[in-house]
Amino acid sequence: MKAFTLITAGRLAGAATLLTLFVGCTSMSPMAASFSQDSLPDAVKVPAGHKVAMQTVGVGLITYECRAKKDMAGQFEWVFVGPDAALNDRSGNKVGKYYGPPATWESMDGSKVTATQLAVAPAGAGNIPHQLVKANPATGNGAMMGVTYIQRVATKGGVAPSTVCDTSKVSSKQTVSYQADYIFWKMM
């Protein structure tokens, strides 16, 4: 009877592990499938033949630096330097990070990708624009392998500082908070 109880308990533990893995995997699929591009401007839509592989919420800071405007003596502007953000899943768990330059999306598994900007579209006053980038080949094995496009949507904040940028502030840096959804696409 003791042997039967141990075998049954072992099978139950194995079944529970399989059920946990199954639930974990299926919870990722609806998250990937639930994204629609219908409300996005055409400029930042991913071409047909791709599917959503992962959705993340980037939460962090964007750094700007006060610099002289190119070919405009005596004029200055806040220039985008780079991001520093955590990439979280829809439940708020950290799954990676986004930083630059160059703009790099890195998964917790060590795989990462850089990209080239293709298009931007307005996202409302006070928000950085929507963006579509074409991914370069990923490095490392993991979640970023095979990513072809990344969209930045649902942006909140992140625009250049509203403080004065003039001769007295040249080379000074300021950070601003932002949030955005990063949608990762792969070939079907």
pLDDT digits (tens, 9 = 90+) for 109-126: 999 999 999 999 999 999
pLDDT digits (tens, 9 = 90+) for 12-25: 333 333 333 333 33
Task: List own/partner pairs for 74-83 with CB under 8 A and 24 or more apart.
Answer: 76/165, 76/166, 76/167, 76/169, 76/170, 77/160, 77/165, 78/160, 78/161, 78/165, 78/174, 80/160, 81/173, 83/58, 83/178
Q: Tell me the pTM.
A: 0.81
